[in-house]
Amino acid sequence: MCLVLQADQLVCSKEVVRCIQSERQALLQFKSGLIDEFDMLSFWTTEDCCQWYGIGCSNITGHVLMLDLHGDYNYYYYGGGNRFYIRGDIHNSLMELQQLKYLNLRGNYFTDISIPGFIGSLRNLRYHDLSGFDNRDHNGGQWLSNLTSLTHLHMSSILNLDRFNSLLEMVGKLPKLGELNLTDCDLSDHFSFYP
């Protein structure tokens, strides 16, 4: 890392920025709630969590900025075509990752759990993909109201959109949202189509 003091002075340090220990512990707690049959997180053992699979950190601060643990679970194909995925519970320790900008959990087997309401505390999120979650207890999308930095929201294959109108109302209030993906959501109970 180098710092320019004046036009002719350059001070460099060989210090490597590593992940913040409280964030490392939060990720390990998150991992403890998951069932990882395909060993996606088997290398989450080293001291520097910035080197772990699916994790991206700031080179300057060491904060975790990205959690990309997308899987390859196919909800419509039961013939063994799934290559890798995680399942289990989403531990609320993720609230420790307050600098998180990118969260992708799509393609995993989270159909037995609801979208965690604490996700709304991650106010710096810009990209969020929670495709495939069971949405029955999302409290009308209230968790979305704090995500004012969100620019991309992917909710394809969401099950049980029983409070869809409330969810759309919350989505409509997100000032920076530029992309909303609702692919493969069954919206037939919410809209009437006439020939």
Residue 195 CA to residue 193 CA, distance in Å, equals: 7
What pLDDT is stored for residue 28 in this prediction?
98
Mapped onto helix, strand or coil, the DSSP state of residue 164 is: helix
The reply to whether the predicted model has a pTM over 0.85 is no
The Cα-based distances of 185 to 133, 144, 159, 161 in angstroms read: 11, 18, 7, 8
Specify if 57 maps to a domain.
yes
Range of 96's domain? Answer: 40-181
Mapped onto helix, strand or coil, the DSSP state of residue 23 is: helix
Specify if 194 maps to a domain.
no
Specify if 44 maps to a domain.
yes
Q: Domain count of the chain?
A: 1
What pLDDT is stored for residue 97 in this prediction?
98
CB under 8 Å to 190, separation ≥6 — which residues? 161, 164, 165
Specify if 100 maps to a domain.
yes
Give mean pLDDT in consecutive 10-residue pieces for the chain, a chain of 195 residues. 46 68 98 94 96 96 96 67 83 96 90 80 93 61 86 75 68 90 64 47
Specify if 87 maps to a domain.
yes
Specify if 17 maps to a domain.
no
Residues 106, 70: contact at Cβ < 8 Å? yes
- CATH number of the domain where residue 157 is located: 3.80.10.10
What pLDDT is stored for residue 194 in this prediction?
46
Q: 51-56 contacts: CB < 8 A, separation 24 or more? A: 52/27, 55/19, 55/27, 56/102
Q: Please report, as a single letter, which amino acid is at residue 33.
A: G
What pLDDT is stored for residue 5 in this prediction?
43
Specify if 153 maps to a domain.
yes
Specify if 189 maps to a domain.
no
